[in-house]
Amino acid sequence: MSSPWQRFKIGVVGTTFSICVFAALLRPVSQRRLPEAKPANLYNVVIEELHALREADYPRAYRQVSLSMQDRYNLDDFAEFVRIDHPELARYERVEFGAIRVQARRALVPVYFFMPSGEIVSVHYVLIHEEGRWKIDASRVERRWDSTHRVAGERT
């Protein structure tokens, strides 16, 4: 025959075990609820950033970047980074997007800037899904081509 103290201890252990099992089952469900990364949504984040930079509206551009990027740069440092590292990108004639790669909460968006000089600049944007929306986590100039280079693909 078990004492009330032993039954209490068994109840505490059983309850703790039940909570752990419930938490283990609930966690994967919450991770699967990530919204589908629609290309149009990803393009809009980059386009909004480009419009803000073209207008030199750095606070608006800063709202498009991730929290980790905001941790690396305050608003003044971000504005200086954009003005010094890639000032010519704000003078693009048009942009085109390449094939997007999405992996969980991250997306790689290749963007091709067609400049007035005819030069083509390839920039890879890394977007991350945070706070319920996609934000820019990094960007890197990959290549530059002169006006004689033709980019592969189809025009529709």
Give the whole-angstrom CA distance, residue 125 versus residue 128: 10
Give the whole-angstrom CA distance, residue 126 versus residue 9: 51
CA 145, distance to chain mean position in Å, is 26
Q: Where are the domains of the chain?
A: 1-33, 36-145
- Helix and strand numbers (H, E) in the chain are 5, 5
Could you tell me the pTM of the whole model?
0.72
Q: Please provide the CATH number assigned to the domain covering 36-145.
A: 3.10.450.50
- pLDDT tens digits, the chain, 156 residues: what are they? 568 888 887 877 778 877 777 777 766 554 555 567 789 999 999 999 999 999 989 999 999 999 999 999 999 998 888 888 777 878 899 999 999 999 989 999 999 999 999 999 999 999 999 988 999 999 888 888 887 777 665 444
